[in-house]
Structure 1
C-alpha cells in the first residue's frame, strides 16, 4: 500500500467526523438554531444513558468470545499503557504550562484517551483490502482485523469511562467551586494536592477526589477512616456501574458465555430482534457525539481559555511522542514473547497509540458542564492533523512489521 493509498484510508474516517461536525455547527448557529444549549444537553444525556451502552453491548456480544479474551490478554494491558504514558505526558504538560485548574483534567484526558471506537473499526480492516494484503489472505485478514478492533473499542471505552470519566468529573467539581467562590487561581496554585488530583490511574483519581475535600468547608469533610472508605467505595461503584461501563460488562458476560450469546446472535437466536434494536440504537452513538462536538465548537470557539502553547503541547504528545513510545512498548513485548505471532495484532496495538483523542471526552465535558469549548477546540485540531499523522505512522508501522 503506497503513501497516497494510506492517506485515503487514514483520512476517510477523519473526514467523516469533520463533515458530521460541520452539520452540528450549522445546526447550532443562526437565530433559529436547532442545537440550542438545552438541546445539546438533553441529547448528550441520551448518548450517555442509552446510545453508548447499546453500542458497547451490541459490539461485544457479536464479535468477542472467551477464547479471544484469553488469547489477546495483552490488549487491555497495552491500552492501559497508552493511558498511563499519555497521562504522564499530559501531567507534565500541566506542570510546565499550568493551565487554569478546571482545564487540567481536560489536558490530561486529551493526551491519554484515544478514540478506539469507530476509527479503529474503519482503519484496521481497511489495510486488508489491499492487493496483495500485507497481513495474509484478504477475507481472513478482514475477519481478524474486525475482531481486534471490536475488542479494542470495548476495552478502550471501559478505560475512557473510568479513568477519563474520573478526571472530567473532578474537573467539574473544581469548576463549580471556582464559580461559587470567584477566581481561585492563586489558591489553586498553592495547593499541590489539587495538581496531583488529576494523576494517571483510576485509583489515584479516586484518591484525588478525596484529597480535594480540602476545598470544601471543614464541617462537610469526613472525619474518620470509615467515612472516607465509604465515600470512596460509593464513588468507585458509581464509576463502574455508569451506563457505558454497565453495557461493556454485560457485553463481555454475554459474549464470553456461549449459551447467553446464542440468545442474541445467530440465525436461530430467540432474541435476535432485541439484539437488532440494541444495535440500531448503538449505531447512533458516533453521529450524536460528533453533532454535539460541532455544536459546542460553533458556540464556543472564541470563548476557549486554552492558550496556543497548551494546544501545541497536546498535539505533540498525541501525534509524535505517544506513537514513538508505542513502537518501543510493542517491540519490547514481542521480543519478550508476550504477543501472538500475528503481525496484524501488533499493527492493531501500534494504532492504539496513534488514534486521535476520544470523542467521549466531549460527552463528559457536557455532562459535567466544564471546558466544553476548550474540549471542542482540542478535538478539532487533533482530528484535523490526525489524517496526515495516521498516514505517516501507518507507513512506519508497515515497514517496521515487514
Structure 2
C-alpha cells in the first residue's frame, strides 16, 4: 500500500487550522466522513429502535451496523459487542457485576502500567467484596511488564486479571496473549484495556485471549463513547442491574438507557475510514482493515524513529518509552529542572504544536517512573501525522531548550 498522507490529511477539517497534533492518545481528530455520518443520522427520521416507522428502522439499522463494524475491527462476535458512555463507565459496570461472584479470600490482579480506569474500579469492587488485590509492577528502566511477576501473583483464588494491551502513558505493549493464558490456567478471567492499543494495532480478541476487551472509538478517529467486546456465551452468565422493562437479551441487557445512535453511526464510519486508508484494497472489511493497519504500523514506526532520533540529537531529554514492543507514543522529561514539561506544552502550543503534559490518568505508572502525579510531555502519532509535523515538533523543542 502507498500511504497517501496528503490525501488522508485532506479529509480532516480540523487540520486546516494548521496545528500539528501529537495529542492523539488523548483523542484523535475527526475525518469528514465521520462528521457527515453523525449529521446524516440526526437529519434522518430517528426514534427508539423498532421496525414500524422510518425512525425506528433507522435507529435499529444504525445499531446493527455499528455492532458489525466493531466486530470487524476487533475480530469479535457482533452479538458480544456492548456499547456504553465510555470505557471507564463500562469497566465500572462490569466490575460491579463480576464482583458479585467473588467471595472473601478471592483475589484480583491489577498492574501499575494501566490507566486508572482499569485499576480503580477493580480495587473499589474488591474492597466491597472483601477480596485481596495483587499488584504487578513494571520495570521503570525498560518499561517492561514481567511475565514472571505475573505468574508470581496468580493463585488458585485469582478471579480476574485486569491488564492493559498498551500503556497510554509510555506505549508499552505487554505480552497480552501470554498473560491471558496464565490467567486462564488459574481459572481467572482476563479484562483487557485496549483503548490505546486499538488505535495502532489490528485487534483479534480471540487470539489475544481476552475475555473482555474494552476500547474507545474517539481514540481511532470516531466519536466519544465506549465499546466492550466479549463472547456472547460469557455475557449470558452475567446478570447486571437493569430496568425491569428493558431488554434482557445479550448484549442489550448491559446497555443502560437509549443508545447514542448518531455516535454509533459515526463509529461505523470511523471503522470504514480506517478500512479505506488504502483505496485500492479489496476483500471483506476485515481484510481491508488488515491491509490498512499493516501500512499504518509501518508508517508510524518510521515517524516514531524520526522523532526518537531527533530527540536524541537535541540532548537534555529523557525518553521514558523504552519497551521493545510499544506504540508510537513517547513520554519525555527534561534533565534540566529549569525546563518543565508544562512550560514546554505552552511554548509548543504558541507554535501551533499540540503536545500535552501530564500523567493522563496513568497515575500508578507515572509514580512508578519516579515522576509523581506530574508525568511528562506525551507525544503520540495518529494516522494523519506527517513528517512535517514531527519536524515542527523537534524545531519547537530545540527553541524551547535554548530559549
TM range (shorter): under 0.3
More strand by share: 2
TM-score for both structures, normalised by structure 1: 0.24
More helix by share: 1
TM-score for both structures, normalised by structure 2: 0.24
